[in-house]
Amino acid sequence: MEVIDKLAPSILSADFARLGDEVRRVEEAGADLIHFDVMDGHFVPNISIGIPVLESLRKATRLPLDAHLMISEPEKYVERFVKAGASSVSVHSEVCSDIPKIAQLIRSAGARASIGINPETPADRVLAHADRIDMILVMSVHPGFGGQEFIPSAFEKLRYIRKELERRGLALDVEIDGGVKLDNIADVKAAGANVFVSGSGIFGHGDYAQIIDEMRRTVGRTPVDLERK
Ligand code: DX5
Ligand code: ZN
């Protein structure tokens, strides 16, 4: 049961005044996905970017856009994010009363369905629906801000999730988000993650090609192995 490792720079730490350019630079540097953080000032204590920005970025890159909706009432917006060009949409389990229903909504709109869990949320909340989703997003910081420290209890959660998925024969993507950097990316992979979001760990670095290349070598793939999808 094989899952493919993917590097997903989070543009929350990019220069928003030059966003198209920043995205092209990480694309050329070998990124697999663009992680797009949406915050509503309600589910999280911060506000970021939304549908019109995603729509514009869709024209600026060939990479899949991975929308992470840190918003209340996500069911009202998921279809619009897919229509605007998101390839995958993550919604938070903490604000979904009916996970299978919203997963189906995302899938029927034409994107991959992902459910996120905050550091305090038990993995079982999402594992219960693992056969109806495409990805589990594990938060390793409290959502709302880039540049925070990785919370170590995420390792145990990742191990538990990957073990459960394997036991049930499910090859889901497991995305880790928050505080992922070159110095811990090998450990998060060993714990079971295969989609690595990194904001400040990539955009805080002067040379995107170098840091992405080092991260990729650290998780064990060379650019030649790249399987874009
Ligand atoms: C946090 C966001 C993350 C954030 C990660 O709420 O969901 O995607 O951009 O940033 P770093 O990698 O700097 O922790
Ligand atoms: Zn995110």
Instruction: Report pLDDT digits (tens) over 91-142.
Output: 999 999 999 999 999 999 999 999 999 999 999 999 999 999 999 999 999 9
Q: Does residue 227 register a pLDDT over 60?
A: no
Q: Does residue 226 register a pLDDT over 60?
A: no
- CA torsion 46→48→52→57, rounded to 10°? -150
Q: Does residue 150 register a pLDDT over 70?
A: yes
pLDDT tens for 152-175 read 999 999 999 999 999 999 999 999
The Cα–Cα gap between 225 and 206 comes to 25
Instruction: Classify residue 80: in a domain, yes or no.
Output: yes
Residue 190 corresponds to which tokens in the numbers above?
Answer: 């060993």
Distance 143 CA to ligand 2 centre (A): 7
* pLDDT the model gives residue 2: 85
Instruction: Classify residue 136: in a domain, yes or no.
Output: yes
Query: What pTM value is reported for the model?
Result: 0.96
Contacts of residue 65, Cβ cutoff 8 Å, sequence gap at least 6 = 33, 34, 36, 54, 57, 58, 85, 86, 87, 88
Instruction: Classify residue 105: in a domain, yes or no.
Output: yes
Ligand nearest to the CA of 200: 1
Instruction: Classify residue 1: in a domain, yes or no.
Output: no
Q: Is the Cβ atom of 177 under 6 angstroms away from ligand 1?
A: yes
User: 15 catalytic, yes or no?
Assistant: no
Q: Beta partners for 196?
A: 7, 176
Q: Is the Cβ atom of 218 under 6 angstroms away from ligand 1?
A: no
* pLDDT the model gives residue 229: 41
Q: What is the CATH number of the domain that holds 61?
A: 3.20.20.70
pLDDT band at 223 (very low <50, low <70, confident <90, very high): low
135: closest CA among 109, 183, 99?
99
Number of structural domains the chain divides into: 1
User: 207 catalytic, yes or no?
Assistant: no
Instruction: Classify residue 195: in a domain, yes or no.
Output: yes
Which domain does 15 fall in, by range? 6-227
Q: Does residue 199 register a pLDDT over 90?
A: yes
Contact 96, 129 (CB under 8 A): no
Give the dihedral sign, CA 39/24/229/205: negative
Contact 135, 88 (CB under 8 A): yes
Exposed / middle / buried, residue 18 (Cβ in 10 Å: 0-12, 13-18, 19+): exposed
Instruction: Among 36, 37, 42, say which to mutate for ligand 1: greatest number of ligand atoms within 8 Å of CB.
Output: 37
pLDDT tens for 15-50 read 999 999 999 999 999 999 999 999 999 999 999 999
